[in-house]
Amino acid sequence: MNDTVPASEPNRRPTAGPSKADLILRPALVAGCYVGAMLTIAMLGALVAANRAPGLEGYAFERNVASFSLFGILMLLPVLRFLNRPLKMFVASMTAWSILSLAYDFAGIYFHNLFSVLQRTPFEVLTEGAIVYGIISVAAWVFAIILHARRHPLTPVRRQRTGTISSHR
């Protein structure tokens, strides 16, 4: 990249490339956006199936189990994708959960009494997701530290000095 400013454009500033933090967290943000979109689609599908499909009323338990299972699998995607990178896991998870909380807030406008029936406000949903994903990220980090400590010795290996006289051996 050429950072020099040509004489014909004296007011133009040189453009810098993306920062190191942008390059490091970009995959996590992209994955979080995709998972957030999938969680939103799953939530809206479950709401439509529960409220606008009277033919599924006889299968309410099965419908709810299927919706819950799909939701749980989608929640695990950022955890499994970034299992050995806890910071990226937390960024991807919180990006997805923030998108879901925003969609849940907008769904509450269309589906009246949604928050009172589910007994969760969008802020409570966001907070619960942050707690769950925070605990999972910290657990992954601690597990990685334990594995690292088991692979590498905790005490440094001492080398004997040559050419010195010492009474300690």
Cβ atoms < 10 Å from Cβ of 160: 7
Residue 76 has pLDDT above 90, yes or no: yes
For the entire predicted model, the pTM comes to 0.77
**Arithmetic mean of pLDDT, 80-87:** 93
Q: Look at residue 7 in the predicted model and tell me its pLDDT.
A: 60
As a whole-number percent, the residues of the chain with pLDDT over 90 amount to 63
Residue 92: name the closest of 152, 146, 39 by CA.
39
Specify the DSSP class assigned to residue 35. H
Q: Mean pLDDT across the chain, nearest whole number?
A: 86
Cα gap 78→56, rounded to integer Å = 31
Q: How far is CA 100 from CA 37, 83, 110, in A?
A: 8, 21, 15
Backbone φ and ψ of 138, nearest 5°: -65, -40
Residue 113: name the closest of 63, 38, 51, 61 by CA.
51
Cα gap 76→58, rounded to integer Å = 29
Confidence grade of residue 108 (pLDDT, cut at 50, 70, 90): very high
Q: Look at residue 52 in the predicted model and tell me its pLDDT.
A: 87
Q: Rounded to a whole number, what is the largest CA-CA distance in the chain?
A: 91
Cα gap 100→138, rounded to integer Å = 22
Block residue for tokens 């334990």: 146
Kindly provide the b/e burial profile for residues 28-43, where b requires at least 16 CB atoms within 10 angstroms of the residue's own CB: beebbebbbebbbebb
Q: Look at residue 59 in the predicted model and tell me its pLDDT.
A: 92
Q: Which amino acid is at 38?
A: M
